[in-house]
């Protein structure tokens, strides 16, 4: 286990609803990134938070947003859910923010199903 915990582990929403996913980073880590993994594909980078600010974003629309809190935990919010948002959402933590830190520690993910 990596020490990165995510909640909830599974959830089902309907199209148009909003969802909030949560992540507690490993102790001592100040950087959190989020990835989306559709079935049968590799994870895709959504965004990263360092010192409570977004400092990198992938090709995702603005309805994907996030927060990082002073204790370095993080939330991923998705508004106006679409069927294609069904995926495993992975949180990863590390230390250092803007430099190559090499190793990311991933959680087990939150599996979102949109009906």
In the complex, which residues of this chain contact another protein (CB under 8 A)?
Answer: 2, 4, 31, 33, 35, 41-45, 48, 55-56, 58, 90, 92, 94, 96-109
Closer to another protein at the Cβ: 4 or 15?
4
Closer to another protein at the Cβ: 80 or 108?
108
The CB-of-65 to another protein minimum distance in angstroms stands at: 17
Of residues 104, 114, 115, 112, the one with CA closest to residue 45: 104
The CB-of-100 to another protein minimum distance in angstroms stands at: 3
Of residues 56, 70, 39, the one with CA closest to residue 98: 56
d(CA 32, CA 47): 9
d(CA 14, CA 67): 23
Closer to another protein at the Cβ: 14 or 74?
74
């Amino acid at each position: 286990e990596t020490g990165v915990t995510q909640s909830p582990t599974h959830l089902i929403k309907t199209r148009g609803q909003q969802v909030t996913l949560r992540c507690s980073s490993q102790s001592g880590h100040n950087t959190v990134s989020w990835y989306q993994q559709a079935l049968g594909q590799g994870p895709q980078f959504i965004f990263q938070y360092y010192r409570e600010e977004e400092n990198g974003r992938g090709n995702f629309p603005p309805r994907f947003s996030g927060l990082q809190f002073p204790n370095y935990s993080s939330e991923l919010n998705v508004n106006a859910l679409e069927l294609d948002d069904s995926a495993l959402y992975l949180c990863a933590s590390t230390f250092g923010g803007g430099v190559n830190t090499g190793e990311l520690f991933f959680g087990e993910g939150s599996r979102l199903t949109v009906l």
